[in-house]
Amino acid sequence: MIGGKIGLWEILLVLVVALVIFGPSKLPEMGRSIGNGLKEFRKATKELKDSISLDDNETDKSS
């Protein structure tokens, strides 16, 4: 992992380790949980950006 890039071998290694530790029955459930968490995080981030943008627009109008 030189230069901060994740290569194919690193991804495969992580997946194999996860498969060994958690087993094949838990991986889909964990993937769904991680996906839902990322979706909620992106939604909250977008709402925060929109809120900040609206606050900036109101400040510009009142000046």
**What pLDDT, in 10s, does the model give residues 49-58?**
988 887 666 6
Segment 9-34, tens digit of pLDDT: 998 998 899 889 988 888 889 889 99
Using DSSP's 3-state secondary structure scheme, residue 4 falls into: coil
Say what the pTM is: 0.58
Indicate the Cα dihedral angle 17, 18, 21, 24, nearest 10°: -120
**CA 24, 25, 28: angle at the middle one, nearest 5?**
90
